[in-house]
Chain A
Amino acid sequence: MSLAFQAEGLVKRFGKTTALAGIDLAAEQGSVLGVLGPNGAGKTTAVRILATLLRPDSGRATVGGHDVVKDAGAVRRLIGLTGQYASVDEDLTGTQNLVLIGELLDLRRRDAKVRAAELLDWFDLTEAANRPAKTYSGGMRRRLDLAASLVGRPAVIYLDEPTTGLDPAKREDMWGVVRSLVGDGSTVLLTTQYLDEADALADEISVIDHGKVIAHGTPAQLKQIAGGQTILVRPTDPARLAEVSGILAAVAQREPESPGRGVLTVPIDDDRAFPTVVRRIEEAGIGVMELSLRLPSLDEVFFTLTGKPATAEVAA
């Protein structure tokens, strides 16, 4: 196992505010670490330390084995950073922005132009390539910003809330980009306040709150913390709902609920319950349109861990 980056006991204070109160983060090469937490939890501070933009008050962090404080130059050769606000130069065109980064990464001007064109094409910005970035929409700016962080083909990519403020379709696009980056062997640190986003992209998730990691694990492990799985059944023929309800009640030993028309759900504690339900429904000859075992959402996980809903914290 080799770690792409590792942070141990990071502490950072700004005046009287403690942004990080001793945080540990690590990700294996080629994986996605999701750092999940509400606004003000310390996500951005942690990213800025790992990106050599901030020095920790105590603790240490390495990227590719290089210390972020003592060997910042080596770290900068490995990383790409995309902030939560798009840090592109508004007066420069899309091409000029990317060529500049390429030149600063020691590409020859010709190669920098080729790389810029490649990235603009990948991010659907070719048509806007020669317009100043200030004429771009929010989503386009975000894409240009991400493209700028990929010019040097970084081994480790920090995505600090890459989809905050994007509409759902654009979010899906961004998720596709993240998946293809990992497919190419890069390691990604993704911070997000969206629980479904961490669930969809991350191999492992560190949940942080008030500058501390309050839980760490795979998405599935975290969901188990919140306990309980739920079976959902939607029979093809709504007339047979009562029969399904009887089967579920018998297996789960509790009354099913109906969250929507023609759908029944029941929480279960036993791993063997789901196969039993499947078998009995089949034996009864009931056709189903939908039959699933659902883990609890990460919203529920967050609530279990902190005792308060994540959304309430975000609003604060």
Chain B
Amino acid sequence: MTTTIERSPAPVTSAGPSGPPPARTFRVARHSLALARRSLIKTLRTPEQLLDVTLQPVMFVVIFVYLLGGAISGSQTVYLEYLLPAIMVQSVMFASVATGFSLNTDVKKGVFDRFRSLPIARSAPLIGSVLGDLARFVVSIAVLLGFGYAIGFRIGTNPLTALAGCLLVIFFASAITWIFVLLGVIMREPGAVQGTAFLVLFPLTFGTNMMVPTDTLPGWLQAWVKINPVSDVMDAARALITGGPVGDTVTKSILWSIGIIVVFAPLAVRFYRRRV
């Protein structure tokens, strides 16, 4: 600590760290991106954190296709085609829990105190976390498609439509992420975030037509599966990736995603602002 640096005199009335502040929205976007890069660096530095988005869905595919596939649809290849797009939806939803979990850990540590003492929008750290973790969804989908291809899964539409299907799944997962971001800023312990998240996720992901068509289910369960938006997203993913009637599933998926974001993102920011 021998060298000194050039420091301009700092009068208390100084306007801030740089010149005129750019437009507000632009600043929020830029700060969010800087914070998203932080999340991304953290993910890359600890790749073992990606186990839940890579190995876990692959295991699900193996279990369902080879253990149950034959019994359920008589052919493992046919069943794989039915199951894989739905497993994609399930795996990114499970992956989104980690965002709330790590956010909760961050808030408890001092790092977020620093962010909160900076002249940035309160929403920026939350948006940054959600954006940064999009990478986890991409990895998960890539691994599933790669593994699926190795065991005989083929895209039934065309690459562009399939890509649109993947993007739809990612968009829906980023909406779901806001639910766990909200849990992350409300809950006291990271463990509580995870516990509550799974309570939410099991009925949402398994209570769908993921494994078997809806009409094979008992009536009360059919009622739930039909109102569960995750069923729509799974159907939309199947239609766009393996082919089949799209119907209104894509529209419904997009509307649900927007609806979830509109409700949960402002709530999360509000609770984050109030959190001491």
Contact = CB atoms under 8 A, between A and B. Distances in A.
A101 B112 CA distance: 12
B224 interface: no
A185 B113 contact: no
Nearest to B21: A106
Interface in B111-126: 111, 113-120, 124
B34 interface: yes
How would you classify the secondary structure of chain A's contact residues: helix, strand, loop or mixed?
loop
B102 to A, nearest CB: 10
Given A51-B117, A87-B110, A107-B18, A156 B12 contact: yes
Interface string B119-140: 1100010000000000000000
B3 A77 contact: no
A180 B75 CA distance: 76
Nearest to A96: B41
B113 A122 contact: no
Contact of B9 (A78, A89, A149, A185): A185
Interface string A207-231: 0000000000000000000000000
Interface in A104-149: 104-107, 118-119, 121-124, 132, 148-149
Given A87-B110, A106-B22, A173-B1, A155 B118 contact: no
A2 interface: yes
B30 A103 contact: yes
Interface in B1-50: 1, 3-18, 21-22, 27, 30-31, 34-35, 37-38, 41-42, 45-46
Contacts of B11: 29, 155, 185
B13 A64 contact: yes
Interface string A77-90: 11111010111110
A78 B119 CA distance: 9
Contacts of A85: 110
B150 interface: no
A118 B5 CA distance: 7
A83 B31 contact: no
Interface string A289-306: 000000000000000000
B38 A89 contact: yes
Contact size range, A:
35 or more
A187 interface: yes
A270 to B, nearest CB: 43
Contact of A81 (B8, B18, B113, B120): B113
A76 B34 contact: no
Contacts of A51: 117
A180 B17 contact: no
A249 interface: no
Interface in A186-200: 186-187
Contacts of B111: 87-89
Contacts of B116: 52-53
B59 interface: no
Interface string B163-179: 00000000000000000
Nearest to B45: A91
B276 interface: yes
B117 A52 contact: yes
Contacts of B119: 73, 76-77, 105
A184 B9 contact: yes
Contacts of A173: 1
Specify which of A4, A76, A104, A186 lies most central, judged by the most chain B CB atoms within 10 Å of its CB.
Answer: A104
A153 B120 CA distance: 16
A91 B118 contact: no
Nearest to A172: B1
A87 B17 CA distance: 21
Interface string B100-111: 000000000111
Given A77-B15, A123-B1, A106 B113 contact: no
Contacts of B34: 100, 103-104
A37 interface: no
Nearest to A173: B1
Contacts of B12: 2, 4, 29, 63-65, 78, 155-156, 187
A66 to B, nearest CB: 9
B118 A154 contact: no
Contacts of B15: 77
A286 interface: no
Contacts of A267: none
17 contacts: A52-B116, A64-B12, A64-B13, A76-B118, A77-B17, A83-B113, A88-B111, A92-B38, A100-B37, A104-B31, A105-B119, A106-B21, A107-B17, A151-B17, A152-B16, A155-B10, A173-B1
**7 tightest Cβ-Cβ pairs between the two chains A and B:** A87-B110, A77-B16, A64-B12, A152-B17, A76-B119, A105-B17, A103-B34
Interface of A: 2, 4, 29, 51-54, 63-65, 73, 76-81, 83, 85-89, 91-92, 96, 100-101, 103-107, 118-119, 121-124, 132, 148-149, 151-156, 173, 176-177, 180, 184-187
Given A104-B118, A106-B22, A180-B4, 18 more contacts: A29-B11, A52-B117, A53-B276, A63-B12, A76-B119, A89-B111, A92-B38, A103-B31, A105-B18, A118-B6, A121-B3, A122-B3, A122-B5, A152-B118, A154-B10, A177-B1, A184-B9, A184-B10
